Structure formats: structure tokens, C-alpha cells
Amino acid sequence: MKVALCSTIVPFIGGGARNIVEWLETMLLEAGHSVERVYLPMVDTPELLFRQMAAFRFIDLSMADRIICFRPQSHLIQHTHKILWFIHHIRVLYDLWQNPGYCPYPDDFHYEGVRAALRSADNAALHEAEKIFTNSKVISNRLKKFNQVESEVLYPPVFRPERFQCNGFNNEIVCVCRMEPHKRQHLLVEAMRYTRTPVVLRLCGTGSQSYLDELRANIHDWHLEEKVIFDARWIQEEEKVSLFGKCLAAAYLPLDEDSYGYPSVEASLASKSVLTVTGSGGVPELVQDGLNGFITSPEPQALAEAMDILYGDRKKAEWMGENARNRLAELNISWEHVLRRLLA
């Protein structure tokens, strides 16, 4: 089968939205299919958005047997066999509209018209799809709320999941993801002020310079240099496998994440529990409080208490880690399942 994978990317920036496309490409090729990737640069400003929408609308992929569309606005491409694996809206014009921390646009007649035109175009394109999948219940609920369409949750696996294995439990709570305010590493750093055990926090990843500087300043001002390992760089896949394999547990605290996040799955594959907080979006679809991780309030003291429990009770940490790996099987998170549903 000839399959075109269609999405948008931020040029020269890696991440989950790019990974889901490229990993699926590899799985399709290994299954004997022909695959092409079709990308346009990601835009979300109204000044450029409608130009991109027009560009997607006029792309001709009739030579493909099937197209699979991911990020907006790739779902505007026309095709008789269009499948959506929809991973988010242009959120600033949907669920984050008038959110002070995210939306810079005034709630006036002009932008109401922009939002209405966007939603009209999205609704038309969504109803053209042969099938709509999403990466989480969070996204399915948004599609139902804003676009009145039904969808099926199809959880994305990680690449080569067999790489991740448990190799013991050291003293580290590991957080591997971009360091940005909405990933909330600052809560983890502040939590280390309240821990009562020798538990160590390891932060890994690149991020915006202003936030990196803020985290460094907090570590210094609170005298946490012995308790926080600050590794602000891109972490290679081999390193990540090693970190999750040896850590005590993983932490992932995004603000209203679209899905459960790859770090949560990678830690679970290594039989490690996941520490998260309420308001993290799709992460609690994977993490069950007290079973395969902890879901605390987004307060440093609550996070510190969970860290101390994991450090002080290694049998509990191991038991929760086993539950974390089993949880993946319960949710049928596998490439075999993904290919079966997308190509049905």
C-alpha cells in the first residue's frame, strides 16, 4: 500500500509530534508498505494560518492509496481515503482562547471571525475523514466539544520499546523532556526543599534560556546543588534508555498535556513508576494513583512526600514499576495494534 503521512513540523526542532510520524513511517516500511512524508512548517498566527490552510487544501496526493494526517492543519488535505490520527487543535484559537498565559489576541469582532472561519474549515475537513483517531481521551473530548465529531483513542507507542528494561533502582527521580514553564520542572526543584530522604532529582533536556536560567537560580538560591542534577542538553536515545533503566522513578508534570507523553511510556517500559500532578492533561490516562505512580496536587510539599515514599520503600517502588509496565499491556499500546487500526 502507498501511504502518505501528512503533518506540520517546527523546522530543526525535534519532539513527540515529529516522532509519531517518523516512527510510524519506520513501522510501515518494515511491514512492506511504500511511505512518503508530507510536511509544511507549523504556524498558528492568524496572519499566516489561512495561507497554510489553502496550501494544504490544494495538495494533490491522489497517487497515494491512503493518507494519514496528524498535526493541524494537515487534515485539510483532500483524499478519498483520509485517516486522521489527530493529536491537537490549534489550541490558542480553541481551548486556550483568552487564557492569559497563552493567548495574545483580543476578544474582538476580528478574531471572533478568525475563530469562526477556522472552526468551519476544520469541521468540513474532519467530516471528510474516513476514520478519526486521537492520541488521548483529552483530544477526543475536545473534538466532541468543539467540532461535534466522534473519534477513537489510539495510544501512540514509543520507538523500539524493547530497548527499555529495568536495571535496578538508584536514588534518582528522573525527568527527561523539554524544560519549559508548561512542563513545570520548577515544581520539582522546589519540592527538593522539602524532601527528608537522600532522594536526588535529575532534570534532563533543552529549553528556553529564560526558564533554564530561572531553574539554575532556584537551585543555587535554595542550596540544592547536592540534591538536583541539572543536565540542560539534548539527551541521546541511548542515554535516555540508561537513565530510565536505573532510576528510582520518573517525573512528568506537564500543564494540560494533549496526551500521556512519551516520557511516561518510556519509564513504564523500564518498569518505573511515574510521578505526576493533577491538571496534567492526558498523563492520568496512563498513571493510576498509588498503583503505577503518584498523582499529587501541584504543590512542592505533596511532590516531596511522594518522592520520599518511593525512596523509603523500595519494595513499593518495584511493585509500582511492575504495575507501570503491565498498564501498557492493559491499554494495548503497541505498534501491532496501531498498524491494524490505521490500515483497517
Q: What is the per-residue pLDDT for 44?
A: 79
pLDDT at 340 over 90: yes
pLDDT in tens, 4-30: 999 999 888 777 889 999 999 999 999
Q: What is the per-residue pLDDT for 102?
A: 81
Q: What mean pLDDT is predicted for residues 244-270?
A: 95
What mean pLDDT is reported for the chain?
95
> How many CB atoms within 10 Å of residue 57?
13
Q: What is the per-residue pLDDT for 11?
A: 86
Is there a contact between 309 and 290 (Cβ–Cβ < 8 Å)?
no
Domains and CATH numbers, the chain: 2-154 (3.40.50), 161-330 (3.40.50.2000)
pLDDT in tens, 263-303: 999 999 999 999 999 999 999 999 999 999 999 999 999 99
pLDDT at 329 over 90: yes
DSSP result, 10-23 = -TT--SHHHHHHHH
> How many CB atoms within 10 Å of residue 205?
20
Query: For the ranges 200-209, 219-228, 256-265, which has the lowest average pLDDT?
Result: 256-265
Pairing state between β 131-134 and 152-153 = parallel
Burial of residue 97 (number of CB atoms within 10 Å: 0-12, 13-18, 19+): middle
pLDDT in tens, 115-138: 999 999 999 999 999 999 999 999
SS3 134: strand
CA distances (Å), 165 to each of 170, 192, 250, in order?
Answer: 14, 27, 14
Q: What mean pLDDT is predicted for residues 326-332?
A: 95
Cα separation, 115 vs 117, in Å, equals: 5
Cα separation, 181 vs 218, in Å, equals: 14
Burial of residue 314 (number of CB atoms within 10 Å: 0-12, 13-18, 19+): exposed
Q: What is the per-residue pLDDT for 319?
A: 98
3 phi and psi, to 5 degrees?
A: -120, 130
CA nearest to 344, candidates 83, 94, 166, 30: 83
pLDDT at 101 over 80: no
Is there a contact between 129 and 83 (Cβ–Cβ < 8 Å)?
yes
CA 6 to the chain's CA centroid = 18
CA nearest to 64, candidates 33, 41, 99: 33
Query: pLDDT confidence of 110, banded at 50, 70, 90?
Result: very high
Q: What is the per-residue pLDDT for 208?
A: 93
Q: What is the per-residue pLDDT for 156?
A: 95
